[in-house]
Amino acid sequence: MSTSARKEVDGWLGRALPGRCAFCLAPLLDGFPWCEACFAGLPWNVPACPGCGEPQPGAEAGRRCGRCLRRPPAFDRARVPLRYAEEVAGLVQRFKFDASPRAGKLLLDLLSTGLPADVTAWPEALVPVPLHPRRARERGFDQALWLARRLGRRLDRPLVRATRARDTPSQRGLDRGERRANLRAAFCVPGGLPGRVALVDDVMTTGATLGALAVACRRAGAREVEAWAVARTPLHDR
């Protein structure tokens, strides 16, 4: 199905099925676009390493993983409420590659709901992970910017636009070290950033992209940097 056809279907579903869960069409949980059972059954990223967001099944909540203890990431904390799996993976793919507004709205709602109030009150600005202009033209869509703009309006926080200093090769197929090398000095951030900023992306894989952007934000004046993403790719799926 083409992207335009998917958008038509998204619009039709929204008009034809008001008051129904976006996942199973059951009656909605009050005030949310999902039912209670589907919400509870989503692949929540709990427990997770508070440093890098890596899923930590069976670990003590709030405990940093061995990798973060050996080599802490460039950002101070990661806030990633879901795992990139099951229904969430499907939503991300429709949002990222088909520009589905229905999928994007659901991911935005899940991110907003998955971040506690004290977390969303913390940043003074949001910085979306930027696409290179060539890639943005090819895709016709910048998913991190889409999310960050709407999240910023919800939280009443300003948006700071970073840019790609160079068009880096795709990160697919690269290991953690290769990803870091690929992204070295890849981002430019305007100077005079406030002290607390949150980086925004749709999916966090190894954290290399968010780490490189965090380094650029610190050079631009940020004292504390958090990495926010909707979903985290588990290690065994990378």
Residue 110: CATH number of its domain: 3.40.50
54, 34: one domain: no
> Could you give the number of structural domains in the chain?
2
Q: What is the pLDDT of residue 197?
A: 98
57, 106: one domain: yes
Position with higher pLDDT, 174 vs 192: 192
Q: What is the mean pLDDT of residues 202-216?
A: 94
Q: Could you list the residue range(s) of the whole structural domain that residue 33 is in?
A: 1-41
Q: What is the pLDDT of residue 43?
A: 97
97, 195: one domain: yes
Q: Tell me the per-residue pLDDT of 121-141, one tens digit each, with 9 for 90 and over.
A: 999 999 999 987 777 677 677
30, 81: one domain: no
102, 157: one domain: yes
130, 27: one domain: no
127, 165: one domain: yes
24, 79: one domain: no
Residue 114 scores a pLDDT above 50? yes
Q: What is the pLDDT of residue 140?
A: 72
pLDDT band at 7 (very low <50, low <70, confident <90, very high): very low
Q: What is the pLDDT of residue 236?
A: 66
Q: What is the pLDDT of residue 13?
A: 44
Q: Which has the minimum average pLDDT: 24-28, 68-72, 134-138?
A: 134-138
21, 108: one domain: no
Radius of gyration of the CA atoms of the chain, in A: 18
Q: What is the mean pLDDT of residues 208-222?
A: 95
